[in-house]
Amino acid sequence: MASILTNISGAWQYDFVRTALEAGTVCALLAAAVGYFVVLRQMAFAGHALGHIGFAGACAGVVIGCGALPGMLVLNIVAAAGMGFLGKRVQESDLIIGMTLAFALGLGTFFLAMFKGYAGQANVILFGSILSVSTGQLVGMLVLTIVGVVGLLLLFRPLLFATLEPELAEAKGVPLRLVSTLFYMLVAVAVAFASQIVGVLLVFTLLIGPPAIALRFCRTVWPGLLLSVAIGVGVTWATLILAYITDDPPSFWAPTLLFGLYLGSAALTRRRGA
Amino acid sequence: MTESAHAITFKALGLRYGDHEVIGDFSGTITPGEFVAVLGPNGAGKSTLLKALLGILPAAAGSIEIFGHHPHRGCTQIGYMPQWRSAGASGSLSGRAYLLAVLDGHRWGFSIPNRAREETVHQALHAVDAESFADRPFSVLSGGERQRISLAQSLLGEPRILLLDEPLLNLDPRRQGELIDMVNDIRRKQDVTVLFVGHDINPLTKVVDRVLYVAGGHAALGTVDEVINTEALTRLYQTPMKVLKIEDMLFILAEDQRVIEHGEHTHQH
C-alpha cells in the first residue's frame, strides 16, 4: 500500500500527470452535468452519434493540421446545430441517427487514409490520449468548460421543463427548438472533451454512466446533478490513478469502473425496492 | 384593460389542423366557474381546440377571447394538464421535483431550492391530496396518483381556467370518479373554469354545467340534454345518430348501431 502511495505521489511530480488530472476533471465535470440532461431526455443515442461525428471532425482536423480537438469541436457543433434545427422527428429517429453515425465513421476513415501516421492517430482519436494533453490545450478546455457550464446554468430551467413536459413548456412560451438546439451544442462540446479521456468510442461511458447511476439514487434534480458530477469526476481520478499504477489504458478503467458502479447501484436500489 | 364577463368567448371560430378543417364557424361563451365537458370522437379536434386556447395554434377564422384577450403562449390565466404519456427516464424523479421544474421552467437561468417555491408546490400538492406520495419516483406511482400530480401541476400559479386533456385516460371507474370529484371540488374552492376533455359523458353527468361537443368538423355548446340527443348529434355529425338513455346513462350510437362513445370506436359511417 505504502509503495503505491509513494508511486502516486511520485507521479504527481510529472507535469503531464498533473495536466492529465486537471484535464480529466474538467472533461468529466462537463460530461456528467450535460449527461444528466441527456439521460433525462433519452437522447443517449444522439450523444453517441455526436462522438462518431466527432471522429470525422478529429480526422479532418489532423489532415488539415489544426489538430484533432479543434476539428472535432467544429464538426460536432455544426452537426449539433443541424440536429437541433431539424427537430424532434429527426432527433428521435434511430434510423437517421444510425445512418449519420455510420457515414461519419466512414468519412473519418477517409480523412485518416490521407494521413501518414494512420494507425497511431486512429488509436488516439478512438481511445483517447489524456496523458498527452498539453498545457495550451488544457487552458482552452478550461475556458470552454466554463462557457459550457455557464450555458447549462442559463438553459437549466427551460431545458428541464421542455424535457419533462414539452407540450406544456411550449404553451408556457418556452422556445422548444431553440432550447434543444443550444443543448445539442453543449452536448457536442461535452462529447468532444470527454473523448479526450476515453476516445470517441467510449465517450458514451462518461456521458451516460454517472447520471444513470445518480438517477437511481436521487429523486430531485439538484442532488442528482451534483451526484452525477461527483461520480464522473471521482471515476476519472480513479481511472487515471489506476491506469498509472497498472499501466492499463484509461479507456479500460473508466468504463469498467462505471459499469461496476452501475451494477452495484442497480443491485442496491433493487433491494431497497425503489 | 377590458375585462370580459366571460371566461372564454368563441367568435365564428374556425380551426384547421394541417389541411383538415376541425371546427368551422363556432360561436359561444363560457362563464367563469363553469364546468364544461369537451367531448367527441378521437381525432375530432378536442386537442386542437385546447391548442388554440393555449395560443399554440392560431385560429384559421374568427377568434377566441380569454377574459377578453386573445390567447397567447405563456398566458397565466390558464392551467393545462397535458394528456397522459409514459414518463421515460424522468420517471425516476419525484412528483415534487416535477412540480418544481414546471413552476418557473419558462424562465431562463436556474433556481436554487427556496422556501417560497417549496411552499407553492406544497399547496398545489395539498389541493390534490398528493403529499403522501409526492417524494416517490414518478415511475412507481399508480395511474391515479400520476394524474393527481399532473393535476397539481395545472394548479400552479393559481390559474382561472383549467384545461384538462383526457385526465380519465388509464383510470379505472372508481379512480375516474375520485378524480372528477377532486376537480369539481377545486373548481368550487378556487372558483376556476374547467374544460374537461373526455370520451364519455356518463362519469361527468353529475358535475358538468355544459358540454362542448366536437364532431364532423363542427362544435356545439349546451347543456347535456341540449347537445346529447338524437337530433342535435345527427346535425353535428352530419350522419344519422341515435342517443339512448338507459337508467340515466347516455349511449351514443352511429347509423350502424355501434356504440361510438367510450373511446375506441371512433370513425363514423
SS3 content of chain A, % helix, strand, coil (to 5): 90, 0, 10
3-state secondary structure of B21: strand
Domain assignment of residue A7, yes or no: no
What pLDDT score was predicted for residue B42? 86
- B193-207 pLDDT, tens digit each: 999 999 899 999 999
Domain assignment of residue A117, yes or no: yes
Domain assignment of residue A15, yes or no: no
Domain assignment of residue A14, yes or no: no
Q: Where in chain B is the domain with CATH 3.40.50.300?
A: 1-77+160-229
Sheet holding B8-17, edge to edge: B20-30, B8-17, B61-66
B104 touches A: beta carbon within 8 Å: yes
When scoring A156, A219, A226 by the number of chain B Cβ atoms within 10 A, the one with the most, hence best to mutate, is A219
The pTM of the full predicted model, rounded to 2 decimals, is: 0.90
What pLDDT score was predicted for residue A90? 72
Low-confidence residues of chain A, pLDDT below 70? 1-2, 4, 117-119, 271-274
Domain assignment of residue A2, yes or no: no
CA of A22: how far to CAs of A73, A189, A211, B29, B50, in Å?
A: 20, 17, 21, 65, 52
* Residues of chain A found within 8 Å of residue B109, distances taken between Cβ atoms: 153-154, 156-157
Evaluate whether A192 touches A54 at the Cβ level (below 8 Å): yes
B82 touches A: beta carbon within 8 Å: yes
What pLDDT score was predicted for residue B259? 60
Number of compact structural domains in chain A:
1
* Residues of chain A found within 8 Å of residue B58, distances taken between Cβ atoms: none
Evaluate whether B66 touches B47 at the Cβ level (below 8 Å): no
What pLDDT score was predicted for residue A118? 65
* Residues of chain A found within 8 Å of residue B136, distances taken between Cβ atoms: 219
* Residues of chain B found within 8 Å of residue A42, distances taken between Cβ atoms: 88-89
Question: Comparing C-alpha atoms, which of A22, A24, A11 is closest to residue A247?
Answer: A11
Domain assignment of residue A37, yes or no: yes
Long-range contacts of A51-54 (CB under 8 A, 24+ apart): A51/A191, A51/A195, A51/A200, A51/A201, A51/A203, A51/A204, A52/A101, A52/A102, A52/A104, A52/A105, A52/A108, A52/A200, A53/A79, A53/A100, A53/A101, A53/A104, A54/A188, A54/A191, A54/A192, A54/A195, A54/A200, A54/A203
Q: B118: Cβ–Cβ under 8 A, 6 or more apart, which residues?
A: B100
CA of B19: how far to CAs of B60, B214, B238, in Å?
A: 11, 17, 20
**CA Rg, chain B, in Å?**
19
- CATH number of residue A85's parent domain: 1.10.3470.10
Tell me the HSE value of B1 on the side-chain side, using a 13 A CA sphere. Answer: 4
> At A107, which amino acid appears?
L
pLDDT in tens, chain B (269 residues): 456 689 999 999 999 988 888 999 999 999 999 999 999 988 888 989 999 999 999 999 999 999 999 999 999 999 999 998 777 778 899 999 999 999 999 999 998 888 999 999 999 999 999 999 999 999 999 999 999 999 999 999 999 999 999 999 989 999 999 999 999 999 999 999 999 999 899 999 999 999 999 998 999 999 999 999 999 999 998 888 989 999 889 999 887 656 655 544 344 33
Instruction: Provide the domain limits for residue A60.
Output: 20-268
Residues in chain A: 274
Domain assignment of residue A13, yes or no: no
3-state secondary structure of B12: strand
How many angstroms away from the CA of B80 is the closest CA of chain A? Answer: 7
Is B1-77+160-229 in CATH node 3.40.50.300? Answer: yes
**CA Rg, chain A, in Å?**
19
CA of B246: how far to CAs of B176, B250, B260, in Å?
A: 21, 7, 16
Domain assignment of residue A156, yes or no: yes
